[in-house]
Structure 1
């Protein structure tokens, strides 16, 4: 190791110690930012000796990463990940810094790393992953990513730099079969419904055949543009799946039971969209020779994941925080909360910082019109752009006099105690989740980043 690399590691480690000691946190990306100032290629040094799995895509990166980490931990002792969601180069660097130790001992080391789609090309310049998971590509943060094909190109540019990495991709997404790639590819998807004949909703991205530009047809659809697709005008169709979900036994707002390749699984988190995350984790697990029985244990999360149906107890109220950031994700969350058999209260928080997406016009493409049909006892809106949210809900059919406005998060948290239901769902954009968790920590409902 050269002097520059040693200096970079020392600077990064010192920054981590300082932030942990004086700010009661790991500092997320700051140590990585400091280390790369001294050695821009330090990530290559820090990741030596690791088999790396990268996880990228629009929705599901964080939970897929967490599930894959838990699955691999069932077989391997030395597995690291970036649980804070710091998924750009500096954050990834900080993760490897956190676990860096000089050792001559040869052990099997794995790293499951969430990576921002636009950062893929920068990360794979230094890392040489064994596998890259593509979860999905949906319209998201238009001001930053652009259209879905622009986003996918960024992901492919990253994969292109690691041609030996196996792409573990959602086979139900037509975009992942739209161009030829140099990498070996493994597909996962749903195969639990009889063949029929249907079209996706007209307001759906990515439903044109990449070969002939005709509208794709489907034998069945799971949601949005995902499913068993084919083009009636040419030979484009869903590829053969390597790993298949063959049965959906039960699906509630809090859990799911399903079968993959003949093996039953239970997951203590609701929502159809989260089954795809489990499929991705299962696929990586099998690639690394983890048994189905071990995978089943790994899918039973024993801790909460930031903003992914994270439950906070406030008095006698159960507050479930769910991150939302684009129309497809929000629609799936609405479908999930619709499964709750009991009346509930709903709080929505909309921010428009860079990490959220400055353009909030996406809320007009989400199916808020479904909300008046649900058993919702109280509506509350908050966040920097609460006025946009208030107008959107009014247009969706919720009377103005039924909308409670809480401009700041302290007032919102205080209102939870007086909610008319025991269950409260909070749908919030990224920085809103961070700010809300900060308030909850200050008020003692969260401690050390975990729910009390």
Structure 2
């Protein structure tokens, strides 16, 4: 458990100080939070710094293709009931950003850390986590992330024999296969809306059978494990069969699923579900997601959707027609430069909504909407799109860098 002895060597202390100075200079120059560049400098000066910073913390790692930033925030809120928490709350989830976050939490008991899927095995090796939460695996950044089964393989190998308690989604076959190499797994029935990345068995390649909410491979017998926690409507069912109401200001089924997994993680550290779920109510927005902002006299709700699974969940959140919808898609480095994933999204779900299209790749999106027989207008900017929107709250859905652009423009 966490102690108070100082794990930092003189070299590590110099690395932390230098990293903070570089981060502060980056912020002063208006180049963002500085956490990534600060972490890079610190790790150059002391390559073992992440392991040293994690040494005195109870570390919880959260990884997934969708929902990890929100779940990290919910777990952090829940665990504050048991002690001070340090977390990479703004989503800088590769080793440099994680190092930077931990360097700022000298008095913390818990480190709640979001980790990019590709870095999970390495960060787990460095930080010796007490708990790892695995939510889902779906296609994302097709040009540079290997396909999902290879990520699952990477997780499976990296977590084999881990001492951590793994809290894993029993409804995602790829997550189950990845987590099954761990000796200590708590299964959560968190649901899975997007199933198109899990139609073949990750274990043998056979075709998955999906009767109702169950799944199994007819060829090798790989099947859904029995969950001990479950999301049931607006409640979390704990291992004793007690139902606890979910208190969230965040919208949608996906966030209830994130809360169920977060409650299971909090229970590992002795925080009861009732306390954990009540604390989660304090979270109104996560790094700008779900925020409602005033812009040009209109209410804009900002929603992030980075890949087909995220777009599917986001469509379930928006106000019913005729609520206007602005869609913004970029394909910069942080998004992945391949936009072929747009063809995996069912845009017919937007039928009846006035649609306005912006972003670097607005024409790619326009072609996709044309094929889906949707009525839309291509606009040059969010300003123009908002001016053309009919009355009512405007739903704005954007992928990663498009979302950052929007936040800067609308003052969020």
**What's the counterpart of residue 269 of structure 1?**
250
- Aligned to 2:311, what secondary structure does the other structure show? helix
**Aligned partners of 2:255, 2:350: CA distance in 1, in Å?**
21
Task: Assess, with a 3 A threshold, how the Cα gap between structure 1 residues 184 and 422 changes in structure 2: closer, same or farther.
Answer: same
Q: Are the counterparts in 2 of residues 355 and 431 from structure 1 also a CA contact under 8 Å?
A: yes
Shift of 1:362: 0.4
**2:399 matched to 1:393?**
no
- Aligned to 2:127, what secondary structure does the other structure show? coil
- Within a 5 Å distance, the mapping from 1:23-422 to structure 2 comes to 23=30, 26-73=33-80, 75-100=81-106, 109-160=109-160, 163-178=162-177, 180-190=180-190, 204-210=196-202, 213-220=205-212, 227-233=213-219, 235-245=221-231, 247-248=232-233, 257-261=234-238, 262-314=243-295, 316-337=297-318, 340-341=319-320, 343-372=322-351, 374=352, 376=353, 378-399=354-375, 403-407=376-380, 411-413=381-383, 415-417=385-387, 419-422=389-392
Structure with the larger strand share:
1
Supply the RMSD in Å over aligned alpha carbons: 2.3
Shift of 1:46: 1.6
- Aligned to 2:126, what secondary structure does the other structure show? coil
- Aligned to 1:144, what secondary structure does the other structure show? coil
- Aligned to 2:215, what secondary structure does the other structure show? strand
- Aligned to 1:344, what secondary structure does the other structure show? coil
Q: Are the counterparts in 1 of residues 301 and 396 from structure 2 also a CA contact under 8 Å?
A: yes
Q: Are the counterparts in 2 of residues 28 and 84 from structure 1 also a CA contact under 8 Å?
A: no
**What's the counterpart of residue 8 of structure 1?**
15
Matched pairs, number: 399
Q: Are the counterparts in 1 of residues 169 and 190 from structure 2 also a CA contact under 8 Å?
A: no
**Aligned partners of 1:42, 1:294: CA distance in 2, in Å?**
34
**Aligned partners of 1:152, 1:278: CA distance in 2, in Å?**
23
Q: Are the counterparts in 2 of residues 316 and 422 from structure 1 also a CA contact under 8 Å?
A: no
Give per-residue Cα distances to partners, 1:306-342, cap 9 Å, x unaligned.
Answer: 25322212254221111112112212211222xx246
Greater CA drift, 228-237 or 84-93: 228-237
**Aligned partners of 1:172, 1:211: CA distance in 2, in Å?**
15
* Gaps in structure 1 of 5+ consecutive residues: 102-107, 192-199, 221-226, 249-256, 447-452
**Aligned partners of 1:126, 1:16: CA distance in 2, in Å?**
23
Query: TM-score under structure 2 normalisation?
Result: 0.90
Task: Assess, with a 3 A threshold, how the Cα gap between structure 1 residues 236 and 157 changes in structure 2: closer, same or farther.
Answer: closer
Shift of 1:301: 3.3
Shift of 1:417: 4.9
**What's the counterpart of residue 196 of structure 1?**
none
Q: Are the counterparts in 1 of residues 152 and 177 from structure 2 also a CA contact under 8 Å?
A: no
